[in-house]
Structure 1
């Protein structure tokens, strides 16, 4: 997962909205989102290389998603797969216990942001800064730096989501997919400097990324309405940006 946007408590009819893109190498084997046979309440895609996921929910209302942090000076040898943190957090109902474990294990992983919690209390943990932040009511964006870092694609998506929440009559997944499909790249003088080449900084500066080997492989929408019904919508993409598959699920949250 490379970028996600959250509208928390911005509409009475849809108190939680999450729109996210997963960017990854196309050669990495993946299963689209599904309810896992060994964890039947867990809905998530699956990384077949390491066994974890990049984003998921449970029928009880737990939510987790991960983004990589680009920190050239913080590379770690023999690092564990960050995707396992998503499944661990979805299976752990105790936020306090999980936060402590994340801090204890932070040096075992490459840089990451982990969004985790439930529909009423989401947090983001950044292992590079060892920082835990509440996702307060408002519009938020998370990419490969800290929460709400002013990268062009983050601010662009936050503004689009804010305007959409304010002016739309109702929330429609198709509109949120369009927000996530924005392929506008940042001007050269606004590119972040994360230790990679300027060519790659440019290529990665759009919300939706396309290249032959690496790009946006999936877009996922999570909507939770005022009646505590959760809607999950996912699209998987080819390197050319064509839709390969779609998954839609809807269920009533049961609580812990």
Structure 2
């Protein structure tokens, strides 16, 4: 039950994003690293090695494109399984040279770009995807809007408080067809959400947030106010962001139970998920399951007003040996305006 929190409220950092990945500790995963696509595109992301598609849940490009995937919690286990990994979606967007609007309109036909074969959205399980180009309005100093897409809900915008006057958007409007007009109507379905300066998302529909999301939005807003008041350094701000991602309100009594389904339900109430024993016998486990489940990886994206994007990654668990305190940090920094 992952969580994404983002804000555009900080004057020195037009975009801050916090992400927890909750997963089985033994699921094969590669930490975030740079790699080239088609010899030119540079992508920074971790990889899920458990599925043959080797997708991801979060990624950025050196030109400032971003994509963050969150699974949708299906009503039963059968619906949660999918023929094709959801992780291809962030990579497909990051690899394309299409604008965000055009990519969305041609999504189903474009997925073969990554998979090298025809893929239909019906083969992919429930998801929500935040994606777009990180760019700052020179007049306001604010982030131009990002996009959100769910195959269990709607398509819309987030952080739309800054007016986007980019040439790309004007060109998209000029070539708009009836399908795009339908998209515009969807964008207006949740106007209050699209204009929020602090936004949260977990494994429900983004306009039906869980308790952990509401809590995360409140804490992130408070953190930004604290940062402005105390003039926190970037290092101190990042440290506070990791503390927020480690905010644990998981019911300890539920954690002691052997009923894993009850533990799963409780996930919606805590930003951080402590190691939870699954009590699933080895013979009954899926390929990706293991003895423990919880928050494995924490990621922070920090875009400053000079165009430098910082990618911080904290890998907490990589095995069922929960007593092994081998936390691994990674930090990457590059200027998206100079690519």
TM more than 0.5 = yes
Superposed CA offset, 1:156-178 (max 9, x none): 11000001112212352111000
Residues in 1 aligned to 2:305 and 2:67: alpha-carbon distance in whole angstroms:
20
Distance 1:165 1:27, change over 3 A: same
Superposed CA offset, 1:193-231 (max 9, x none): xxx933321145311112142111100000000000001
The correspondence for 2:151, drawn from 122, 127, 144, is 127
Structure-1 residue corresponding to 2:101: 96
70-79 vs 59-68, greater mean Cα deviation: 70-79
Q: Which has the higher strand share?
A: 1
**Are 1:15 and 2:14 matched, yes or no?**
yes
Residues in 2 aligned to 1:207 and 1:4: alpha-carbon distance in whole angstroms:
9
Distance 1:230 1:19, change over 3 A: same
**Are 1:42 and 2:43 matched, yes or no?**
yes
How high is the TM-score relative to the length of structure 1? Answer: 0.87
Residues in 2 aligned to 1:108 and 1:27: alpha-carbon distance in whole angstroms:
25
Residues in 2 aligned to 1:255 and 1:135: alpha-carbon distance in whole angstroms:
25
SS of corresponding position for 2:327: strand
Structure-2 residue corresponding to 1:113: 128
Structure-1 residue corresponding to 2:272: 208
Cα RMSD of the aligned pairs, angstroms, is: 2.5
142-151 vs 114-123, greater mean Cα deviation: 142-151
What is the Cα deviation at residue 147 of structure 1?
A: 2.0
Structure-2 residue corresponding to 1:84: 88
How high is the TM-score relative to the length of structure 2? Answer: 0.67
Residues in 2 aligned to 1:139 and 1:110: alpha-carbon distance in whole angstroms:
27
Larger-gyration structure (1/2)? 2
Tell me if the contact between 1:152 and 1:186 (Cα under 8 Å) persists in the aligned partners: no
SS of corresponding position for 1:64: strand
Structure-2 residue corresponding to 1:192: none
Structure-1 residue corresponding to 2:313: 234
Structure-2 residue corresponding to 1:183: 248
Distance 1:47 1:54, change over 3 A: same
Residues in 1 aligned to 2:61 and 2:36: alpha-carbon distance in whole angstroms:
13
SS of corresponding position for 2:300: strand
Residues in 1 aligned to 2:80 and 2:211: alpha-carbon distance in whole angstroms:
28
28-37 vs 166-175, greater mean Cα deviation: 166-175
Which runs of no fewer than 5 residues in structure 1 stay unpaired? 189-195
How many aligned residue pairs are there? 247
What is the Cα deviation at residue 150 of structure 1?
A: 3.3
